[in-house]
Amino acid sequence: MTVTRGKQKWIREVEGDKGTMSQNSLIQHFGLGKDARPVTIQVRFAPGRIATLKNVKPDQLITVITVIEP
């Protein structure tokens, strides 16, 4: 997942599963400070799917879902 504002870029990598009895959190937090300008969010899903959200206002919870068809 990448969050971009102007020339600034924040990147987080998310792993869905960690082992047989555990899972990493899928929630990602980006500390953007007090700057309230909109950001662009890009989420890369396997295999090669990309979701891009533009002009997103900071300070909110966003859920991004992809549907993988057989």
Any idea where the domains of the chain sit in the sequence? 2-56
Distances (CA, A) of 46 to 6, 15, 33: 27, 11, 30
pTM of structure:
0.77
Per-residue pLDDT reduced to its tens digit, 25-47? 777 888 888 888 999 999 988 77
Query: Is 42:51 a contact under the CB 8 Å cutoff?
Result: yes
> Which pLDDT score is estimated for 57?
92
Handedness of CA 21, 62, 39, 46 (dihedral sign): positive
